[in-house]
Amino acid sequence: MASTRTAVGKASVLVASNRGPVSYQVREDGSLDARRGGGGLVSGLSAIGPDADSVWVCAALGDGDRAAVRRADGGLLPAEETGGQRVRMLDIDASVHAEAYNGIANSVLWFVHHLLYQTPLEPVFDAEFRRQWASYQAYNQAFAEALAEEAGEGAAVLIQDYHLALAPRMLRRLRPDLRIGHFSHTPWAPPDYFRLLPDDIAAELLGGILGADRAGFLTRRWADAFTACCHRVLGPGIPSGTDIGVHGLGADGDFLRERAHRADVAERMAALREEIGEGRRTIVRVDRTELSKNIVRGLLAYEQLLTDHPEWRERVVHVAFAYPSRQDLAVYRDYTAEVQRVADRINERYGTPGWTPVVLHVKDDFARSLAAYRMADVALVNPIRDGMNLVAKEIPVVSDEGCALVLSREAGAHEELGEDAFTVNPYDITGTARALHEALTLPAEERAARSKRLAAAATALPPARWFLDQLQALTAQPS
Ligand code: F6P
């Protein structure tokens, strides 16, 4: 199908990602409500301007999205709903998408790159896995075909993330003329862990990405891990013909500072102040409830702090926002319940009539997140492993009085922020509790000075720059 339609494509820059810049909900009256998202790709594509003939190819994720694709007759979504962006959403068969996204991307690839398996019992790569893998291949093939159709001669195509690891090679076969980039927003697994995957699957994944002219990573560490996996799985000398690039995504300082001073954020601050109580210090964390974010151990470390340092009781509150993520997966639902259970236990154990030690919110509210950022004395970012972690970068930029950052050495952001952070091993509860105490006792002047340096490092590569640098590197490269 693709080969007959390649001539009609005319976009010169294409982005491909599972989740697109817009999502649709079906309202009660049957009409569609379009919601636009943010993030680095959205800023990046706006930065290249409307004349660049760019197209964003993404997947329909739910019923609302599928209805929107039908309404658009499989073509581009209405520009007024996408913020002017040309978006082609793919209505991939729902069961194929679910197997590729939930079955492979979220339950296998995410687990491999974040080292999340409890290995005595998992992973199990059986016939069911092979079936899901076939869906992952079909899903990647659907993206490759759509990109081949939309791309003009010699266009640059930026393919995102572990969902689409096979698409670069598939697209290369369909359109050898294109400049193809792949970017991993996650960490990359070390070779011993990556080799949990069946050998043929490991080789197919690496070979898929090596189909690109350029493979991009958020840090040198993840890029080196990818190269090490290539050497171990495919042999020495690989990768050849694929450039490896490192582009550390930063926070969008101008946007955050402006957005954090709007009226809705001030309202949320007043409400939070009520919940926290006057004059108390705050330890703030804001995450999607991913298993990799290590929220439960963060709570345990806070509990340890209250045990080891009774002087903090009544004087500090752990403000923890844990927003829903991937709730189709039972393991995520169980983890979310565990976060709630541990928070409740701490409140029962230590709470007093006038003091709630943990203020936990699970309903996503961006304005309230910014309010918490502004009020943060300490930011707790302790992932098991994380590609970058933008929260670690955003809180120092927005906090009113400057915050001390307790940061996992396993977050990509640690490469850039480590010097001014309190570094923790994410598994070490005692060490994290100690770091929280040190962060809370940091003199105000020192805290403000560190926070300023953190904010400067955090905003060094804003999203638009991050995107344009990649595009430039891809197109400057000789074919
Ligand atoms: O945060 C890392 C990341 O890979 C992002 O690049 C991507 O948008 C997200 O995870 C995927 O999350 P979801 O499954 O909610 O789309």
- Do 245 and 122 fall into the same domain? yes
**Structural domains counted in the chain:** 2
- Which domain covers residue 389, as residue numbers? 253-458
- pLDDT exceeds cutoff 50 at 471: yes
Distance between CA atoms of residues 21 and 23, nearest Å: 7
- At 406 the three-state DSSP class reads strand
Q: Whose CA is nearest to atom 3 of ligand 1?
A: 185
CA of 326 to the centre of ligand 1 (A): 10
- Do 309 and 440 fall into the same domain? yes
- pLDDT exceeds cutoff 60 at 4: no
Is 131 within 8 Å of 42 (Cβ atoms)? no
- pLDDT exceeds cutoff 50 at 6: no
Query: How much of the chain exceeds pLDDT 90, in percent?
Result: 91
- Return the best residue to mutate from 106, 108, 114, 161 for the ligand 1 pocket (most ligand atoms within 8 A of CB): 161
What's the pLDDT tens digit per position in 242-299?
999 999 999 999 999 999 999 999 999 999 999 999 999 999 999 999 999 999 999 9
Q: Do the strands 22-26 and 32-36 form a parallel or antiparallel pair, or are they unpaired? A: antiparallel
Is 249 within 8 Å of 218 (Cβ atoms)? yes
Query: How much of the chain exceeds pLDDT 70, in percent?
Result: 97
Other CB atoms within 10 A of residue 367 CB: 16
- Do 84 and 113 fall into the same domain? yes
- pLDDT exceeds cutoff 70 at 112: yes
- Do 11 and 118 fall into the same domain? yes
Least confident of 76-90, 97-111, 128-142, 394-408: 76-90
pLDDT band with cut points at 50, 70 and 90 for residue 9: low
Give the pLDDT mean for 415-433. 98
Distance between CA atoms of residues 428 and 298, nearest Å: 10
- pLDDT exceeds cutoff 90 at 237: no
Q: Where does 115-222 show beta strands of DSSP type E? A: 151-160, 179-183, 214-217
Plot region of 147 (φ>0 → left; ψ -120 to 50 → alpha; else → beta): alpha
- Do 179 and 272 fall into the same domain? no
- Write out the DSSP string of 290-340: -GGG-HHHHHHHHHHHHHH-GGGTTTEEEEEEEE---TTSHHHHHHHHHHH
pLDDT band with cut points at 50, 70 and 90 for residue 5: very low
- Return the best residue to mutate from 15, 18, 108 for the ligand 1 pocket (most ligand atoms within 8 A of CB): 18
What's the pLDDT tens digit per position in 181-223?
999 999 999 999 999 999 999 999 999 999 999 999 999 999 9
| R_g over Cα of the chain | 23
- Do 269 and 198 fall into the same domain? no
- Do 194 and 270 fall into the same domain? no
If you search the block for the tokens 């990359």, which residue do you land on?
188
- Return the best residue to mutate from 139, 186, 327 for the ligand 1 pocket (most ligand atoms within 8 A of CB): 186
- pLDDT exceeds cutoff 70 at 316: yes
- pLDDT exceeds cutoff 60 at 8: no
CA of 101 to the centre of ligand 1 (A): 11
Alpha helices, DSSP H, located in 122-166:
127-150
- Do 260 and 227 fall into the same domain? no
- Do 115 and 226 fall into the same domain? yes
- Do 45 and 87 fall into the same domain? yes
Is 329 within 8 Å of 107 (Cβ atoms)? yes
Q: pLDDT averaged over the chain?
A: 95
Query: Which CATH number do you get for residue 302?
Result: 3.40.50.2000
- pLDDT exceeds cutoff 60 at 394: yes
Other CB atoms within 10 A of residue 30 CB: 7
